[in-house]
Structure 1
Amino acid sequence: MEFNNKPKPDDRSDNVEKLQTMVQNTIENINEAEETLEFSNAEDRARVEAKNERRKESIDAMRSEIQDESQARQNGYRQS
């Protein structure tokens, strides 16, 4: 059996949109998790709050990447 080991070409054309969708989904996950807090015990509450903090950090990173990708799109994805 033969395998094609050629890497796929780097297609960044929709990265901004994918990242924006990921940010929106993560925000929705934060909101849904926060809605469960009133029914949670202290241990579960701490776990949810910690996870939401990590989610917020991820959102910051994704927004930074959106800026980078948007700039790359404006520059025609030229490599430096």
Structure 2
Amino acid sequence: MAKHQKPNRDDRSDNVEKLQAMVQNTLENIEAAEETMAFSSEEEKAKIQSKNDRRKQALEGFREEIKDEAAHREQ
């Protein structure tokens, strides 16, 4: 007989902080990758640049989510 589990409550209380930490980690990853480019081949540089472009797009999404979560907190 299967147990029925209650879904976890939607706890958004620390989402802004988590998203801010994600932004900081992503910025650090971008910086580290740019430092690595100095010692990379042209092919590796292109891959790193492509990945950093994706990271920058993710940052935009994180920042939008932070705005949404902050607005939700104020309600």
Structure 1: gaps spanning 5 or more residues = 76-80
Aligned length: 75
Q: Which residue of 1 aligns with 2:32?
A: 32
User: What is the CA–CA distance in structure 1 between the aligned matches of 2:21 and 2:29, rounded to whole Å?
Assistant: 12
Could you say if the C-alpha distance between residues 3 and 29 of structure 1 is closer, same or farther in structure 2, counting changes exceeding 3 Å?
Answer: farther
User: What is the CA–CA distance in structure 1 between the aligned matches of 2:44 and 2:3, rounded to whole Å?
Assistant: 47
Give the TM-score of the pair, scaled to structure 2: 0.94
Share of identical aligned residues, percent? Answer: 55
Give the TM-score of the pair, scaled to structure 1: 0.88
Q: After TM superposition, what 4+ stretches of structure 1 lie above 3 angstroms from structure 2?
A: 1-4
Question: Superposition RMSD on alpha carbons, in Å?
Answer: 1.2
Amino acid in the other structure paired with 2:45: R
Query: Cα deviation per residue 1:2-38 (whole Å; 9 max; x = unaligned)?
Result: 5453211100000000000000000000000000001
Q: Which residue of 2 aligns with 1:46?
A: 46
Structure 2: gaps spanning 5 or more residues = none
User: What is the CA–CA distance in structure 1 between the aligned matches of 2:56 and 2:45, rounded to whole Å?
Assistant: 16
